[in-house]
Chain A
């Protein structure tokens, strides 16, 4: 790399100098190799669930809750409580080949959250044979619809 530091006026003194870039490239190459070797390419994340504690007092009254009860054969029942203007407050979605029908659950959650955007609290009640993956997918669907105060009930 040739660097000019000034104009050559008067005397013929050479003011230019060469910067040796080779050691710099060596250091950068070593850094790249180290970072590539130690890089984690699996991108981990976490789904947060808040468990209610008996001693905690909420500041304001919740504007409704949704309880999702998982039954056998992928059946799931959504029960809505304390929501104004909602009469039919229970809906059951049957499973598909023994698994939860996530297309229908997503449709219901999206339509519910678009109409009742104030409802943020969800309680998931799994059964002993509920798959962990199904629970995660259900929680992700609720979070996607901004219903992010999710609790999970122990057996």
Chain B
């Protein structure tokens, strides 16, 4: 009974040598289909679920936040990164929206961005800094951001 229930029994994959036997050629008994039918529906289902999951994952990721060679700190109580002016502190250099800015020009640059940027940009200042950095190196950004009128600072972290 189980022998008859095999799905490949009537296909060429069942036994090719049995059909060419000299003694009892089974191939002459009846014509067998040479095409193996695969159940593709479950494969399409799995692919569709995978695509939906990847698209959802893609949509929730932070857009274009360039962290450079900065090793971000880890924190478990963090929120999703939203819009804001990105200031990166890398190797003692300050980069506002990926453009290097001198410390003396930091306040003026941030003030200009706060005045001319759209509402999303004005919402906050995203600070990307290395975890091993001293606060003294970060202080110019905090100071310039506060003086430029930013009321919300968002420290970029890796979510635990």
A residues within 8 Å of B by Cβ?
Answer: 1, 21-22, 24-25, 28-29, 31-32, 35-36, 38-40, 42-51, 53, 56, 126-133, 135-137, 139-140, 143-144, 152, 154-155
Across the interface, do B158 and A42 meet the contact criterion of CB distance under 8 Å? yes
Residues on A with C-beta less than 8 A from B139 are 128, 154-155
Interface residues of B in 146-160 (CB under 8 A from A): 146, 149-159
Across the interface, do A29 and B65 meet the contact criterion of CB distance under 8 Å? no
Across the interface, do A133 and B132 meet the contact criterion of CB distance under 8 Å? yes
Across the interface, do B41 and A1 meet the contact criterion of CB distance under 8 Å? yes
Give the size range of B's interface with the partner: 35 or more
Q: Does B55 contact A (CB under 8 A)?
A: yes
Residues on A with C-beta less than 8 A from B150 are 51
Minimum Cβ distance to chain B for residue A26 (Å)? 10
In Å, the complex CA distance between A126 and B61 comes to 31
In Å, the complex CA distance between A37 and B40 comes to 25
Which of A51, A143, A144 neighbours the largest number of chain B CB atoms within 10 Å of its CB? Answer: A51
Chain A: which residue is nearest B43 at the CB level?
A: A25
Across the interface, do B73 and A133 meet the contact criterion of CB distance under 8 Å? yes
Q: Total A-B residue pairs with C-beta atoms closer than 8 Å?
A: 153
Name 7 A/B residue pairs within 8 A (Cβ), A-sorted: A32-B51, A44-B159, A47-B155, A49-B153, A56-B151, A133-B131, A139-B155
3 tightest Cβ-Cβ pairs between the two chains A and B: A45-B78, A35-B54, A128-B136
Q: Mark B51-89, 1 if CB is under 8 A from A, else 0.
A: 100110110011001010000110111111110000000
**Contact for B131 among A31, A129, A132, A154, CB less than 8 A:** A132
Residues on A with C-beta less than 8 A from B132 are 131-133
Chain B: which residue is nearest A55 at the CB level?
A: B149
Residues on B with C-beta less than 8 A from A45 are 75, 78-81, 156-159
Residues on B with C-beta less than 8 A from A21 are 40-41, 44
Minimum Cβ distance to chain A for residue B115 (Å)? 15
In Å, the complex CA distance between A67 and B151 comes to 19
In Å, the complex CA distance between A143 and B75 comes to 10
Across the interface, do A126 and B41 meet the contact criterion of CB distance under 8 Å? no
